[in-house]
Structure 1
């Protein structure tokens, strides 16, 4: 699999062509699709490292593409949403998008987001596993298990879990966590980190003592509770 292979699903043909030219100039291999059904079929072939997914698509919208894709694949997805449409961003994150970028966006911002996602999801160096309580993390495979059962996490959710467990019992500041895991500064009204934490909570099995695994300190950050 080409480490620089991207799948761009965008129905605006002019924009799609411009983005493809930009990405190719930056050294990426780009496959394009202009509707949701074709895009989903290409995505399910798992031949790409990252998907750029527009929300408004014919035949199958971006949300439905992402929802169906997450049944079988954890490939990183960057959603392209309408400017100022907060609900699109929230829905995308709930369905498992790794990040979103509102239109219109500038070239530098797009390239920065792509590089940040690929950098944090392409960990090719073998590392030992990390175990804490009933959770075991296999870093080389970016795999998490609880009581020998695999937890299906996106790349972003896995990295959040790593940061929380590596700092068990400590308050992780939201700004620092956002910068380290999502690769960007925390902006006002940006709920990306909160949504990823919420998704992670839902996927983690309950503790035997019924206590929460992740504690929220409102306005400050999150703590992985000892026990």
Structure 2
């Protein structure tokens, strides 16, 4: 998971948080320290007993455990990727945004001939709420608790302040689930929920824009 997060961050992707990856890195280093300390205690177990120190297969087993643990830690720590600094991350994300912006601009230029016709068709369609519902992805149409359960992780239900707007209420619920998933180090679930929240934000913004035009 750490290496996956590191690769994502180095690509300029914002799926994972640098802070979350740093927390996971510290946790991995602490686990490595624990393995090193325990294997060392096993290696010297009983050696201070002058009258009956470990011998033969017992001593050999202790030494083999220490060697295996040391080799394992070397392999694992070497394979740990280096996280970008905050400045590097910002630069990578800026570069990614520029590339995405250029790609989006190209797509807009290709679609410009169809834009007017599509706009006229939307105006002839049913009221705005029906248009919005039709444009929502399946994940947006699901309640927040269903979205969370689809990730394979179930957050605890929490009492959120009520909103008359169901989309605002949905976004508030997902924000709460993201907080719980991050606390539980369920980073894949955090990424999925963050993506659903972003989709809802975009749909809500579109709804507000259409209300403003009307």
TM bin, normalised by shorter chain, reads: under 0.3
TM-score (normalizing by structure 1): 0.21
Query: Structure 1 or 2: larger strand share?
Result: 1
Query: Structure 1 or 2: larger helix share?
Result: 2
The structure with the largest alpha-carbon Rg is: 2
TM-score (normalizing by structure 2): 0.22
